[in-house]
Amino acid sequence: MTTPRIVILGPQGAGKGTQAGFLSRRFRIPHISAGDLLRAEARRGSPLGQRIARIIDRGRLVPDELMSSVVRARLRRRDAKRGWIVDGYPRFRQQAKTFNRFARPNVVVVLTLSDQQAVRRLVGRRVCPNGHVYHIRHHPPKQKRGYCDHDGLPLHQRDDDTPVAIRRRLRWHHQQTDPLIDEYRRQNLVLEVNAHPPIKAVYRHLLEVLKNIPWLSSRLKKK
Ligand SMILES: [Zn+2]
């Protein structure tokens, strides 16, 4: 049986992590977040982790080979044998080539969101020190206002979540990711889903689209 090997792409604010979490539970496959992997490695304090921590602290981008080796190690773990959904990786065409040397996605979900809406969502974003993400309107913490549901740590707004900084990141995102999406489109892997509606509606639409893929639809029915 074909295993779902899903990559989810889209600008910040499109809800990639949230939708990936839903799909992970629905298909019972691990949700592999590149950002979470890096933070976990940095916390572990291994030589690799220390290198990653220095890069993150300086606000630099983690080099492709390092990023790819972290993802690769995660995909080797046992739970990833039955499939996976990766979010935050690959980010550009060269990285996708590296990715192809150790794993090949069979579905690429592209969440589409206008820049204007992305800015609106991101300025309302709050994060905890462990990287859990909330939104003051669309996704507030459930247990205690201003505190993370997972670890109880206080939420804050990231310094670089100002409209100017967000627009700069969005420009960079388009430069990097649009050619990557084109490449995946040429390989017939892309499923595009409009990310403007509320989270649950986006998820319903996403499932509808995935059901159109025969081998995936049989997995969805089996549940
Ligand atoms: Zn947290």
Q: How far is the CA of 133 from the centre of ligand 1 (A)?
A: 8
* Residue 188 domain-assigned (yes or no): no
The reply to whether 51 belongs to the active site is no
* Residue 214 domain-assigned (yes or no): no
* Residue 195 domain-assigned (yes or no): no
pLDDT at 39: 87
Question: Of the listed 91, 121, 126, 219, which one is catalytic?
Answer: 91
pLDDT at 58: 82
pLDDT at 184: 97
DSSP code of residue 79: G
The reply to whether 158 belongs to the active site is yes
Residue 169 to residue 142: CA distance in whole angstroms: 29
Residue 161 to residue 81: CA distance in whole angstroms: 37
The reply to whether 169 belongs to the active site is yes
Residue 66 to residue 49: CA distance in whole angstroms: 10
Look up the pTM and report it: 0.86
CATH code of the domain covering residue 58: 3.40.50.300
What is the residue whose two structure tokens read 């390989």? 187
Q: How far is the CA of 103 from the centre of ligand 1 (A)?
A: 30
* Residue 85 domain-assigned (yes or no): yes
* Residue 49 domain-assigned (yes or no): yes
The reply to whether 16 belongs to the active site is yes
The reply to whether 171 belongs to the active site is no
* Residue 46 domain-assigned (yes or no): yes
Domain residue limits at 58: 17-105
Contacts of 156 (CB under 8 A, 6+ apart): 126, 127, 128
Question: Of the listed 5, 39, 125, 126, which one is catalytic?
Answer: 125
Structure tokens at 112: 């589409």
Q: How far is the CA of 10 from the centre of ligand 1 (A)?
A: 23
Q: In a structure prediction context, what are the per-residue pLDDT tens digits for the chain, which is 223 residues long?
A: 789 999 999 998 899 999 999 999 999 999 999 989 998 998 898 898 999 989 888 877 889 989 999 999 999 999 999 999 999 999 999 999 999 999 999 999 999 999 999 998 889 989 999 888 898 988 899 999 999 999 999 999 988 788 888 999 899 999 999 999 999 999 999 999 999 999 999 999 999 999 998 888 887 766 5
Q: How far is the CA of 137 from the centre of ligand 1 (A)?
A: 18
* Residue 60 domain-assigned (yes or no): yes
pLDDT at 193: 98
- Domain count of the fold of the chain: 1
